[in-house]
Structure 1
Amino acid sequence: MQTIFTREALYELVWSTPVKTLAVEYGISDVAFAKTCKQHFIPLPPRGHWAKLEAGKKVYRQPLPSRGLGMPRDVSFGGSRWEYYGPLPKNLTEIDLRPPPPFDETLDTLRAAIAKRIKKPTMARDLAMAHPIIRRFIEADAPRRKKYLASSYRSFYDAPYFDSPFEQRRLRLLNALFLCLEKNDARVTSSGKNPRDFSVRVGLTDVSISIDDPKAERTSWHGSDIAKPASTPMIARIGPGTAVDGLPMTWQDTAQEKIEAHLADIVINVLIAAENTCRQKEFSHYNWLVNRKADLIERAEKQRLEAEQAERERRIKEEKARVDRLLSEARALRDADEIRSYVALVRARNDTSRDPVPDDRLAQWATWALEQADRIDPVVSRRFLLNED
């Protein structure tokens, strides 16, 4: 069961009730509860806080710091990590949904504040002190280089991936960006050996970043062009490269200026892109809830109309069945009266017959015939009263 708090509400909660008590109440471990608070920069009471409070001693309450970049304004416990927005509230149709309040700072204002504290990334002359991801690429290339240099027939399929001037420049660019990003509380990850796409986690939000040749993106790893010059144009992209609130997310080498001149802008805009994605998720979550609520209301209304239609059809069918039964009973009554009339007519004709049927045989037959009349007669059997139900 997912539980959602605003940061402010959770802050008040953890300073009024011990975490161990809250963890039991919300069905998670106290370690997971504390870890989630730490992720959202929500300070917890230090060891001994509750004992001091119980003893009537004065305690210090650490203030709630500002929300970090890329961090949501709400904190959720429980739910599945596979659910992008989390489970739907059970009483969604009864909830008065309101759009999220505006954020305190615009992205432009936020960018200006970030720009003041970020130092321009520096391009190292070599990669001796490389970022771990870059170092892993270089170390993985060593066996290929050794085999390539020892071979009498050197094929580009066996060439090291990162020995070309182009690849060396790319690794140095990425290294400068990664080191600067991690100094500013962002974490870079990479899967595989392709130095083109990387994921940068800012807070709890991921954005991708890539640097590549705009005309020949490196998607195949069957070989390497070890002669590719460093002057080959490069393009850097954050996410899909689409501008965010007028802020560029794509930079490309030109005759006048190289990507190296925009390293600080790239770092700053990676942080801004993550914050924007975090904000957009909050509003898209609200829109998702609005649409799901409308769908549930529409579905409930459709089910109500279908139920009403089914009830009308049931009543029509039931009334038709009652009328059909009534007509059947009327026919049965006519048939019963016709049998009785027939019996009376037979008796009268037998009395004037030249060769009458003996009385005992006629009486036996008449008794049987009148019993059949009574059997089908709905009045005698009281069957007609069943139509009152």
Structure 2
Amino acid sequence: MSEITVSREELYKMLWEMPMKQVIDHYDTSYHHLRKFCDEYKVPTPPSGYWKQVELGKELPVQPPLKPYNYEKGRLRTGFKRETELDRARLERVRKISSGFEKFKVPERLARPHPIVSVFFKGVYNSRHYNHENQKQYEPPFSPETHRALRILDTFLKALEAKGYSFEEDQNWWIYGQSGSHKIHFRFREQYRQVKITHPKRTSFATEIERKLYHLMRRESSVTLEPKGIVEFTSDRLSLWADKETKPLEEQLPQLLLNVLLDRDRAEHEAILAREREKERDERAAIREAERRRKAQDQASLDAFTSMATAWETKGKLQSFYFALRSLPDDGSTVIGERSIDEWKAWLEQKIAAMDPLRNGAEEVFRRLERVRNVD
């Protein structure tokens, strides 16, 4: 979506010359946004059934005039046809991607695990990545549920790498993936069941195992039990994906992968729109800057012309005063200071002549006006 500048007068003429549907198609907008523009900028529209009366040749109601308003132009939302075309292309891409996941399955055994998954098999990660309170070392051999979790992770990473993603992980087991300008990051984990006993006189317990642990320890403590084997994908863009009672995560992976790829499409589309909006802002800014420079140049030329007019007026006053001075009797040879009176008169004539902005003709005046326009 984008916005364009529309003149009230132009829109008013179009609304009374053709049906509103044609106006909507012309501006590539929607009925809602066109009606909103007309209401906001006080543009009268034909009443309901107006164009039907035109077809039947009936007498038409009086066309209301376009009354003056504070703004003669406004911003109208446009780009709906293009958005529809993009939606169709996106749906076609969804069908194409989904068809590629029809035979998507998590293998029973890992023959060549992904490098990130291999780190787990080497026993590098310990309990701090799972926030175990007893700091028990998390090392191989793994339970069947842990093997299942790693198979799912391995399949997920390889499937996205086939779509152009590259992955890396940090020390907190957050996995970062990137494909072009699109980035995702998520956490992959197994859920553990933790039981914490905090009150020594507690008499009621939620589970039988809590009762046994209490009688065994008789003190305040916290105990971490074995993993439940529930796999989760947690991401700021993908929300939470985990096993469900009716649908394990293996069956959800195709939809999860599809969501990642569609999110990449949306991000790329948003980036394209952002660049277009930035381009439009730059174009509007360039137009405003050009108008500002033009006004500044006009003002500079006018200021220069005003200065010349002031100089010409001052020159006329000085010349009149000088002529009055010359009419007085004097001895031209008398020396005053370092100059004689005749020399003083010659000096005044030179200075008065230099103040005349018209001494070099009209072309020099306009050249000076042009020079000041080209100065930033």
What is the TM-score of this pair, normalised by structure 2?
A: 0.50
What is the aligned partner in structure 2 of residue 273 from structure 1? 259
* Pairing 1:364–2:354 present: no
Aligned equivalents of 2:98, 2:167: Cα separation in 1:
27
What is the aligned partner in structure 2 of residue 175 from structure 1? 151
Percent identical pairs in the alignment equals: 11
1:241-289: CA deviation from partner (whole Å, max 9, x where unpaired): 25xxxxxxx33346x45x7x121322x1343134313422442243123
Which residue among 117, 133, 137 is the counterpart of 1:160? 137
Aligned equivalents of 1:365, 1:301: Cα separation in 2:
66
User: 1:286/1:112 Cα in 2 relative to 1: closer, same or farther (>3 Å)?
Assistant: closer
Aligned equivalents of 1:304, 1:251: Cα separation in 2:
54
* Pairing 1:231–2:250 present: no
Aligned equivalents of 1:381, 1:201: Cα separation in 2:
77
1:268-317: CA deviation from partner (whole Å, max 9, x where unpaired): 13431343134224422431232122122112111111111211221221
User: 1:176/1:235 Cα in 2 relative to 1: closer, same or farther (>3 Å)?
Assistant: closer
SS in 1 for 2:122: helix
Higher relative contact order structure (alpha carbons within 8 Å, sequence separation ≥ 6): 1
Aligned equivalents of 1:380, 1:235: Cα separation in 2:
93
> How much has 1:129 moved relative to structure 2?
7.0
* Pairing 1:194–2:177 present: no
SS in 1 for 2:228: coil
The one-letter code matched in structure 1 to 2:359 is L
Aligned positions of 1:62-73 closer than 5 A: none
The one-letter code matched in structure 2 to 1:317 is D
Aligned equivalents of 1:379, 1:207: Cα separation in 2:
78
Q: Work out the number of aligned pairs and report it.
A: 240
User: 1:329/1:131 Cα in 2 relative to 1: closer, same or farther (>3 Å)?
Assistant: closer
User: 1:137/1:234 Cα in 2 relative to 1: closer, same or farther (>3 Å)?
Assistant: closer
What is the aligned partner in structure 1 of residue 251 from structure 2? 264
The one-letter code matched in structure 1 to 2:258 is I
Which residue among 303, 312, 318 is the counterpart of 2:289? 303
- Runs (5+) with no aligned partner, structure 1: 1-97, 146-154, 217-224, 243-249, 347-361
Q: Kindly indicate which of the two structures has a greater share of residues assigned to strand.
A: 2
Aligned equivalents of 1:215, 1:338: Cα separation in 2:
111
SS in 1 for 2:151: helix
User: 1:214/1:332 Cα in 2 relative to 1: closer, same or farther (>3 Å)?
Assistant: farther
Indicate conservation of the 8 Å contact 1:210/1:237, yes or no.
yes
1:98-137: CA deviation from partner (whole Å, max 9, x where unpaired): 7775427535523541332212x1465xx89754322323
Indicate conservation of the 8 Å contact 2:178/2:184, yes or no.
yes
Indicate conservation of the 8 Å contact 1:163/1:226, yes or no.
no
Aligned equivalents of 1:370, 1:296: Cα separation in 2:
65
User: 1:193/1:335 Cα in 2 relative to 1: closer, same or farther (>3 Å)?
Assistant: same
SS in 1 for 2:153: helix
Which residue among 110, 120, 140 is the counterpart of 2:96? 110
> How much has 1:323 moved relative to structure 2?
1.7
Indicate conservation of the 8 Å contact 2:188/2:232, yes or no.
yes
What is the aligned partner in structure 2 of residue 375 from structure 1? 347
What is the aligned partner in structure 1 of residue 206 from structure 2? none
Indicate conservation of the 8 Å contact 1:332/1:377, yes or no.
no
Indicate conservation of the 8 Å contact 2:238/2:259, yes or no.
no
Aligned equivalents of 1:112, 1:312: Cα separation in 2:
63
RMSD: 4.3
SS in 1 for 2:137: coil
- Runs (5+) with no aligned partner, structure 2: 1-81, 128-132, 194-221, 366-376
Which residue among 180, 184, 188 is the counterpart of 1:211? 188
